[in-house]
Amino acid sequence: VSELKILNLNSNGITYIDPGLNNLEELDLSNNSLQNFEYGVLEDLYFLKVLWLRENPWRCDYNIHYLFYWLKHHYNVHYNGLECKMPEEYKGWSVGKYVRSYYEECPKDKLPIYPETFDLDKDDEEWDRHKEKSVQTVKKHSVIVTVLG
């Protein structure tokens, strides 16, 4: 198993993934029953290049954030199919849109911290405008730090 490079687990009714397949380059988890990944389950996949995620009932709640952030920080991993299936109010949303909306409800004085941590969907012009407004807000405030030695 340690030399395994490609693993196709498509259509197996999988609901949970254990860590430990370190050398995988391609992992197909399509058409299973995955709702999210436990924190840390992807950490040892150093060589992963392709991750198939389509046709899973992804639950868009706080638990989906780990998967989204892991994928954004591992930009060399190509993936597809990360769309909210539940709860009903987020059904059909991309997980990225859901994560951004999660922070849009934060107090406005804390909001400028978050937009820089997300990659934007190419068709998401509203988020572009929101990001520009947040950056302008950050520029209005300044802090002077004096170091005494």
Domain presence at residue 125:
no
Number of domains in the chain: 1
Q: What is the mean predicted confidence (pLDDT) over 50-71?
A: 94
Give pLDDT tens digits for 95-148. Answer: 999 998 877 765 555 444 444 444 444 444 544 554 555 444 444 444 555 556
**Which pTM value belongs to this model?**
0.66
Domain presence at residue 142:
no
Q: How many CB atoms lie within 10 A of CB 37?
A: 20
Whether the pLDDT of residue 84 is over 60: the answer is: yes
CA distances from 72 to 5, 36, 61, 89, 134 (A): 22, 15, 17, 24, 21
CA distances from 103 to 25, 30, 121, 127 (A): 32, 28, 16, 12
Q: What is the mean predicted confidence (pLDDT) over 71-91?
A: 93
pLDDT at residue number 119 = 46
Give me the helix-helix angle, 65-73 and 95-104, nearest 10°: 110
Domain presence at residue 31:
yes
Domain presence at residue 141:
no
Q: Domain range spanning residue 42? A: 6-105
pLDDT at residue number 74 = 93
Domain presence at residue 27:
yes
CATH of the domain at 85: 3.80.10.10
